[in-house]
Structure 1
Amino acid sequence: MLLAALAIQSCKETKKEKETVVEEETTEVKADKDGFVQIFDGETLEGWEGDPTYWSVQDGSLVGQVTPETLLENNTFIVWQGGQPSDFELKLEFKIADSGNSGINYRSDKIDTIPHALRGYQADIDGKIRYTGQNYEEKKRATLAYRGEKVIINTQDNPDEPGSLSANVQRNCWQSREVVDSLGESDSLKTKIKHEDWNEVHLVINGNHLQHYVNGILMSDVTDEDAVNRKDAGHLGVQVHVGPPMKVEYRNIRIKEL
């Protein structure tokens, strides 16, 4: 009888454990009413990979920090481990120090020769609000669209020639691009971005159409027709940049696959 009772109890506990696991798994993937799923828990770096010298969790935020003792030789990223999204929307909030330089990389490749480095599209962010909102391609085609621009990216001439990629970048800007419309003056749009305070970024990445919103305002719009150099899927991560000591904070990071 005792063995039977223990067996029944064990079965009940096993069932209860399974129910708990299912409940936890359901909680992890549960989307909000708009279909977005949280990918940062606000408490740990679980699901993210980066150098803990520069990345930590503080007061519910994912924090990237460079100190006088930890100055960088290369830009460093913390990379989401949940997949390599193709078509998606991403929403998050950021706050960055005046001296800060950061960005949100997406559809990016990892660089084997540099630890925790990404190459690819970036929603640029900086503390002085010179670049925030623009579309910059890290370690590749450089600036694709400045803040306030709607742009079509074309394939450069002779793309198969050695060195053609770097040769088509001048003054840190990709030359095979056409500005087809204005979204507003850059300085005017700058006033919509809060200095050293929380701002919301919303990326809408669908096919070859890449839109960067800050605080609900479209800041840059890129249609990438460059079939040679564009990427259709890749890693997602956030950056701390080479330069002076700085701090950037990210929170409420949510993604919706399209």
Structure 2
Amino acid sequence: MKDFRDLKYLFILAIISFTACGQKKTSDTNQEEKVDGFVSIFDGKSLNGWEGDPDIWRVEDGFLIGELTPESDLKSNTFLIWTGGKPGDFELKVDFKITENGNSGINYRSERLDDVPFALRGYQADIDGKNTYTGQNYEERKRTTLAYRGQQTKINPQDPPGEIRDFVERNAWRGLELTKELGDRDSLKNIIKAEDWNHMHLVIKGNVLKHYVNGVLMSEVIDEDPINRSFGGHLGFQVHVGPPMQVAFKNIFIKEK
């Protein structure tokens, strides 16, 4: 009986030790997030703090989901817009997953349009299901492509000044100047997992805009266009007009500087 009691005692000690380790690990993680300055902006349960079309956006299984169904009648790109502020210099960390035919993105430093419901105009970290564009910098409703995946670019101003669309050619800004190759576009694509979870990290400071996917720098823009660049504005997730699709987001953290 003594041996049995000893074994039972050791088993209880092991459970207590394991629980304590787990609690310490959780505590350390929370402390690390606090020290790093990142704050969660999605509670995993509701759309509190966000505003968008309820026919497109929902929370399910702890994920933020945007979906187009065969019955959806979406006329223009729509966004789920964060109502917690208009970040200027910041870092954003978020996990995303998108279906093969999906087209989405993360807008930041953007204007909200008055004449189109839940529409944003501004910088976007592109996301698409075929990973043709994921990671590039595309400016929604403005200068279009500012940097393709694998590029560091300098964005030069309009010369002479005029209508924005006069300076767009083949869906890219004519003032896009390639300053450095960050890597082969197709090789970088292989880092992005199709129809699986990926991690996006945006580092936005001054006129330098960096998009990382799965820890790798995919594009970098140095915006030298004083007329069109932006230093603050709305943050939001996009569902693009198109075929049925679904995009999901989780673990959404921001650190403002």
Mapped contact 1:148–1:182 kept (Cα < 8 A): yes
Amino acid at match of 2:203: V
2:236 match: 237
After superposition, give the CA deviation of every residue in 1:216-236 in whole Å (9 maximum; x if it has no partner): 000000000001000000000
Superposition CA RMSD, Å: 1.0
> Equivalents in 1 of 2:245, 2:180: separation in Å?
34
How far apart are residue 35 of structure 1 and its match? 1.4
How far apart are residue 32 of structure 1 and its match? 3.0
Mapped contact 1:71–1:245 kept (Cα < 8 A): no
2:151 match: 149
3-state DSSP class of the match of 2:243? coil
How many residues matched?
A: 226
After superposition, give the CA deviation of every residue in 1:60-97 in whole Å (9 maximum; x if it has no partner): 11000000111311000000000000000000000000
3-state DSSP class of the match of 2:36? coil
How far apart are residue 34 of structure 1 and its match? 1.8
Amino acid at match of 1:171: R
> Equivalents in 1 of 2:51, 2:241: separation in Å?
19
1:99 match: 101
Unaligned runs of 5+ in 2: 1-31
Equivalent residues in 2 for 1:1-258 (5 A)?
31-159=33-161, 161=162, 163=163, 165-258=164-257
Mapped contact 1:65–1:247 kept (Cα < 8 A): yes
> Equivalents in 2 of 1:103, 1:167: separation in Å?
25
Amino acid at match of 1:232: F
Normalised to the residue count of structure 2, the TM-score between the two structures is 0.87
Amino acid at match of 1:71: D
> Equivalents in 2 of 1:98, 1:37: separation in Å?
30
> Equivalents in 2 of 1:230, 1:112: separation in Å?
20
1:20 match: none
Mapped contact 1:101–1:240 kept (Cα < 8 A): yes
Amino acid at match of 2:132: R
Normalised to the residue count of structure 1, the TM-score between the two structures is 0.86
Amino acid at match of 2:226: A
